[in-house]
Amino acid sequence: MKKEIQLRDLGFLDYQTVWDLQHDLFQQTIDTKIYNRRNQTTKPTQNYLLLVEHAPVITLGKSGLADHLLTSKAELESQGISFFKIDRGGDITYHGPGQIVGYPILDLDHFFTDIHKYLRFLEQVIIDTLADFDIEATRSKGETGVWLDIDTPFARKICAMGIRASRWVTMHGFSLNINTDLTHFTHIVPCGIHGKQVTSMASELNTVVSIEEVKKRIIYHFQKQFEATLTK
């Protein structure tokens, strides 16, 4: 029997609103698991996949270095870019228009209790999605995310990832650059990795890409990879 995941396409929303929603769903799931354990009950938990485009924002993960932010917060604010220090793993990244951000809030007890495997599954969803648009992507050993031309001097990242997990419940996730304004990445050391560039689907294909079409392929491959049914 396939697992069920509730799909929420949030459209275009500011970072704080979605962060609050994530925390609410994440905590509800954890609270249900704690209740079940204490009371020896089996109240079901719900899985979610949130898809969203954000207004320009830079986020610094809990293990990120402050000096990976190359622009003052005052200057960012003057350019309409927000800044948040948050509770995910990973270093520093940028979210903005033209980028699909995916936040899976999954109870991994429904799937498998292996965070390493979970990250590899997320990477595979994006690798398979990019292949549908004739972009050959891969992993980089020791560097979470999805890359192009990794073993060449032209290695560049097209999708960043960073998660948080507690009691096998996940939050945060991935951000895939589609028609993203890549100049905003000059404000940071992307993911804290020096000497490697970032790219987008539009840059690789030399054309604007339909975000709705990319969403459809992400949803398809997410269902396939996790052997799940996504319902709106």
Residues paired with residue 224 on neighbouring β-strands, in sequence order: none
DSSP reduced 3-state for 53? strand
CA dihedral (88, 194, 57, 174) positive or negative:
negative
159 assigned to active site: no
Tell me the C-alpha distance between 176 and 98, whole Å: 9
Other C-beta atoms closer than 10 Å to the C-beta of 227 total 10
Catalytic residue among 188, 191, 209, 211: 191
Closest alpha carbon to 198 in 175, 218, 214: 175
- Do 178 and 212 form a contact (C-beta atoms < 8 A)? no
- Do 230 and 220 form a contact (C-beta atoms < 8 A)? no
Catalytic site positions: 191
